[in-house]
Amino acid sequence: MDVEQFRKAGYQAVDRICEYYYTLQNRSVIPKVEPGYLKNHIPPCAPEAGEDFQLIADDYQNLILPGLTHWQHPSFFAYFPSACTFEGMIGDLYSSSACNPGFNWSSSPACTELEVTMMDWAARLLGLSPEFLNSSTIGGGVIQTSASDSALAVVVAARSRYQRNHPEAKLEDLVIYTSTQTHSLGAKAGLVLGLQVRAIDVKLEDEFSLRGDTLKAALEEDAKMGKRPFILIATVGTTSSGAIDNLPEIQEVAREHPNLWVHIDAAWAGVALSCPENRGKLYLQEMNGFADSFCTNFHKWGLVNFDCSALWIRDRSNLVDALEVTPVFLRSKKDDSGMAIDYRNWHLGLGRRFRSLKLWFVLRSFGAEGFRKHIRRAIELNDNFAGLISESKILSLVTPPSFALSVFRLVPAGVQGVLSLAALNELNRSLFGRLSARQDIMLTQTNLNGISCIRFAVGAARTEELHVRNAYDIVAEEAEGVLQAWRE
Ligand code: PLP
């Protein structure tokens, strides 16, 4: 493809993408395909001779689009949102066109310099303490692919700091602390690094928040057994129910354990810190006061197209010392001068995408005001949904609504205490089965300490009040259907 052919194909792609967004609402959220649907349409090997690009572009329309789950659909309430904006898309397009894996300053100065500044913009937007800013020259922020990558990098840094302070520690005694509600990123870090993971229990009556006493008891128990917990991955906004670990209590405990690194995983809820009214509930002050690292994904609820996971660290030397490997071919006078951040030492890979570009486009286009408006709108929509559930005689919230997430279940009036938990769970699994058999709406299920429940997460840019109301009506109708079948 030459430049003019690219121009033509590019204009066509943009036209088709616009058409896709114009018709999104009329599509089903979930594709009508079965596993293996694509296999029969795509040959097992790449073609020997290059093909006409128009055929390829048409195959995207005919084969790929019908197999997409439409995360940007206004009736997508599953998982957490993957916010997407045209501004972010254009940022990705430019990034792709420059195609420069900016691993250090010399490899593409703009990549490093824009990321350094964007991470400071984002930190200020969320109200992070100046110690986390790149301009502090001690702490700093970096964009990673995912919250799981962020956690893995941080566990490596924490392990290295712990081993520096305790050279006698054996690797097999080191333990990563999580709660039973921490995202699987904690378990995965343990798997990758060959380290033990202890998931500390959290309770329904604490709304699944990790409490200081429970943490303290675990630390004391492990100390007696010669174990060495070296990092706690605390969560602000858990995946299942949006629970917020009790950072004030954790801070008290951490004061007695200065070698325990505290990482805050706020992959989903962290962007809500942009609104000052949320900061108390999200424990910003405590987080600023003692957390060693903090992560939030702008690619979830934060309007930036996947991928854009923002990680800040209080003392960058811990990360860099743990990950620095510098072969001769990467040395240059400017990089060695220490005048610029060498981001290759802040993550696991060497090459890195120019992700700050889309963050820049989004933050400039929306402004802090527009960003906050988006967050507040989702919270308001979720409050409306939670209000409808609260008024229902057959549905009930399992935990209080958390920002833009509600967790509920089917509990017909009068049966609580009469029906066993197992029987209620069966009803709820059947409700989820009915909801997931539909293609016009998408929600996900979870299990909270043995209670089967359904999650409703708002945040797709095009979701409006009517879609939320429609979602509630569908849930209520399917719930009635489950009850009717049960009574028969
Ligand atoms: N942490 C929390 C609280 C999450 O909800 C999720 C995903 O939903 C993750 C981490 C994982 O994010 P990522 O896919 O960026 O690793």
Task: Look at residues 114, 14, 80 and name the one whose alpha carbon lies nearest to residue 355.
Answer: 114
CA distance 266 to 311: 10
User: Which atom of ligand 1 lies closest to the CA of 307?
Assistant: 15
The finding on whether 148 has its CB within 6 A of some atom of ligand 1 is yes
Question: In this structure, which residue's CA is closest to atom 2 in ligand 1?
Answer: 267
Tell how far the Cα of 180 is from the centroid of ligand 1, in angstroms.
Answer: 15
Q: Using one digit for the tens of pLDDT, what is the confidence trace for 292-333?
A: 999 999 999 999 999 999 999 999 999 999 988 877 776 677
Q: How far is the CA of 88 from the centre of ligand 1 (A)?
A: 20
Rounded distance from Cα 267 to ligand 1 centre (Å) = 5
Topology annotation, domain 364-487: Aspartate Aminotransferase, domain 1 (3.90.1150)
Rounded to the nearest angstrom, the distance between the alpha carbon of 244 and the centre of ligand 1 is: 14
User: Could you state, in order of their start, the residue ranges of all structural domains in the chain?
Assistant: 3-68, 101-353, 364-487
What top-level class would CATH report for the domain 101-353? Answer: alpha beta
**What is the C-alpha to C-alpha distance for residues 315 and 122, in angstroms, rounded to an integer?**
18
Rounded Cα distance between 261 and 151, Å, is: 12
**Closest Cα to residue 125, out of 362, 460, 461, 381?**
362
| CA geometry: angle 213, 232, 276, nearest 5 deg | 85
Tell me, rounded to whole angstroms, the distance of Cα 78 from its chain centroid: 13
Q: Specify the pLDDT at position 413.
A: 78
Superfamily of domain 3-68: dopa decarboxylase, N-terminal domain (1.20.1340.10)
Q: Is the CB of 268 under 6 A from ligand 1?
A: yes
239 lines ligand 1 (CB under 6 A): yes
Distance 340 CA to ligand 1 centre (A): 30
Ligand 1 pocket member 265 (CB < 6 A): yes
What's the rounded Cα separation, in Å, for the pair 312 and 119?
8
C-beta of residue 327 within 8 angstroms of C-beta of residue 109: no
Work out whether strand 405-410 and strand 444-448 pair parallel, antiparallel, or are unpaired. unpaired
Q: Which of 150, 239, 305, 311 to mutate to test the pocket of ligand 1 (most atoms within 8 A of CB)?
A: 239
Residue ranges with strand state E in 302-400:
309-313, 395-397
Average of per-residue pLDDT values in the chain: 95
Nearest CA to ligand 1 atom 4: 239
Query: Residue 468: CB partners within 8 Å, gap ≥ 6?
Result: 381, 382, 384, 385, 458
Concatenate the DSSP letters of all residues of 433-453 into one string.
Answer: HHHHT-SS-B-EEEEETTEEE
Return the sign of the alpha-carbon dihedral for residues 301, 306, 308, 309. Answer: positive
Pocket test for ligand 1, best of 179, 233, 268, 455 (most atoms within 8 A of CB): 268
- Residue 311 CB less than 6 A away from ligand 1: no
The two domains 3-68 and 364-487 share their CATH topology (first three levels equal): no
What distance lies between CA 89 and its chain's CA centroid?
A: 18
- Which of 144, 265, 305 for a ligand 1 pocket mutation test, highest count of atoms within 8 Å of Cβ? 265
Q: In 172-255, which ranges are E strands? A: 174-179, 196-200, 228-235
Nearest CA residue ID for atom 7, ligand 1: 239
Q: What is the pLDDT of residue 337?
A: 67
* Sheet of 261-265, strands arranged across: 140-144, 309-313, 293-297, 261-265, 228-235, 174-179, 196-200
Q: Which two tokens stand for residue 179?
A: 């709660």
Q: Is the ipTM of this complex over 0.95?
A: yes
- Provide the pLDDT for residue 416: 67
Please name the helix (run of DSSP H) or strand (run of DSSP E) that holds residue 264, with its range, or none: strand 261-265
pLDDT in tens, 427-444: 999 999 999 999 999 999
Ligand 1 pocket check for 185: Cβ under 6 Å: yes
Cβ proximity of 397 and 390 under 8 Å: yes
Backbone Cα Rg of the chain: 24
Biggest CA–CA distance in the chain, Å, is: 79
Ligand 1 centroid–CA 305 distance in Å is 15
10-residue stretch averages of pLDDT, the chain, 488 residues long? 97 98 95 93 96 97 96 96 94 94 90 97 98 96 97 97 96 97 96 97 96 98 97 98 98 96 98 98 97 98 96 96 80 70 91 96 98 98 98 95 97 79 95 96 96 96 95 97 90
Residue 147: CB within 6 Å of ligand 1? yes
pLDDT at 100: 87
Closest CA to 115 of 97, 139, 140, 136: 140
